[in-house]
Amino acid sequence: MFFDRLWRGAETTELTGRRDDWISYTDYRGYEKTDQVIEWFWQCIRSWPTERKARLLQFATGTSRVPVNGFKDLQGSDGPRRFTIDKSGDPSQLPRSHTCFNRIELPPYEDYESLERKLTYAIEYVGSRCLRTIAC
């Protein structure tokens, strides 16, 4: 079991239990963790089922699995790289991601509903068509 887990990474079902781990090992560029948009982001993630959380992780990092030792061991294309939420774009735009850098570019949405709708659309529809990421 241990070696299987080591080989495959943590199951997506563990995303729920690792929410605080995910928050703890997130960096912010242009945002503070107390900004309203960031609070809405984590509120949205908490409300999602595990499968959608896994798709968000896939959208942002290129993998739907949490590293065995949690988000502190997240890797980017150039080695250890924390999950990052970058303030970027116009509120009319969808979020974008840079999977090589474990980064989401999250526009400064004006309300929770806009954030949830556009983030969901980005990971469910745009992301599934391989249009979600910017070349690293």
Q: Which residue has the tokens 């061991």?
A: 73
Would you report the helix, strand and coil content of the chain in percent, each value rounded to 5? 50, 15, 35
Given a contact cutoff of 8 angstroms between Cβ atoms, the answer to whether 17 and 23 are in contact is no
d(CA 50, CA 57): 10
Query: Crossing angle of helices 36-47/112-121, nearest 10°?
Result: 60
Q: Which of 44, 100, 130, 136 is catalytic?
A: 100
* N- to C-terminal Cα separation, the chain: 35
Is 130 tagged catalytic? Answer: no
As annotated, the active-site residues are 100
